[in-house]
Amino acid sequence: MMNCLQSWPEPVVRVQSLSESGIRAIPDRYIKPPSDRPGFENQEHVDIPVVDLKNLFSHDRTLHEETLKLISSACKEWGFFQAVNHGISHELMKRTREVWREFFNSPLEVKQEYANAPTTYEGYGSRLGVQKGAILDWSDYFFLHYLPVHLRNPSKWPSLPSSCRLLKAMSISLGLKEDHLQNAFGGEDIGACLRVNFYPKCPQPDLTLGLSSHSDPGGMTLLLPDHDIAGLQVRKNGNWITVKPVPNAFIVNVGDQIQVMSNAIYKSVEHRVIVNSVKDRVSLAFFCNPKSDLLIEPAKELVSEDRPALYSPMTFDEYRLYIRTYGPRGKTQVEFSGSNR
């Protein structure tokens, strides 16, 4: 299967170029089946949980435990929450979005110098998956490896990290030692990468998606959203809920690997991105992932006779090969792996 990841199956078309060409109808390649279309008239507007992190490492035990309970509840019930008072400069957040918007507004020939391939996806891209003739998403992106250092490709860097505090909080709230998840992910060799998403204006936003429905294959995701216009939707009780970003918050979500390690106490949640006809959007997703060759399996402390292991061991490299081959497909992968890992 690895051979199919050497090159794209057909010429890559930049969605931003399509958007700026003035077309009034999107090409058939971007039209989703009716069951997958946004259905704007049926959107539910419910806010996902907001967690204030200022007391996460407070010396006041009561305040600290209250914050852990909020994180635990959000991870169990939603798989998503918005984090405020996270300690990252609001000016830095704003400037980071601006810098990447400047990149996507650069001439095409400048961006093409960083064009990617499906071997690592690092660089400037416009599709996920290598199936010929697949229905595509209405977005371009820039993908970068941050950790481990040996995976970085300097030629693809035209530069961002975050702390592991939330991993520690999730470990504790699962009843594990605070460093359990980070150690299980590879300790200092933990994986980290960045995907910058650019969603151009679309003349027919009701027919397509900026990013198809999926759960994140890695461990945990920190999203810096575009605060000017909403686009992220989360699936809850069968309904699509549009997330309204809280000013200066990061959106945090559980990935498939934490679902596996927690033995499904915490669940990754299906989400997607809608587009609009009025304004381009930029968002940044920072992924915290296991070391690629480590076996990931439920924590032994969370397995019992009453709650047997729901997943058998699999490396992250083996796991993410699915999305790199087929692109985003709901929660098909983690649900399939629960019975076949």
CB-count burial class (<10 Å; 0-12, 13-18, 19+) for 248: middle
pLDDT at res. 276: 95
Q: In what helix (H) or strand (E) does residue 145 lie, and over which residues does it extend?
A: strand 140-147
pLDDT at res. 165: 67
CB-count burial class (<10 Å; 0-12, 13-18, 19+) for 25: exposed
User: Which among 72, 211, 197 has a CA at the least distance from the CA of 144?
Assistant: 197
- Alpha carbon distance 96, 226 (integer Å): 11
Q: Which fold has domain 27-338?
A: Jelly Rolls (2.60.120)
User: Is pTM, for the whole model, over 0.85?
Assistant: yes
Residues in a beta bridge with 50: 82
Q: Which two tokens stand for residue 259?
A: 């679902």
pLDDT at res. 42: 53
pLDDT at res. 275: 96
What average pLDDT values come out for the chain (341 residues) when binned by 10 residues?
69 96 96 88 71 89 93 95 94 92 93 91 91 94 87 70 65 90 85 94 97 92 92 92 93 95 94 95 94 91 94 88 72 63 46
Residue whose entry in the numeric block shows the structure tokens 């060409």:
21
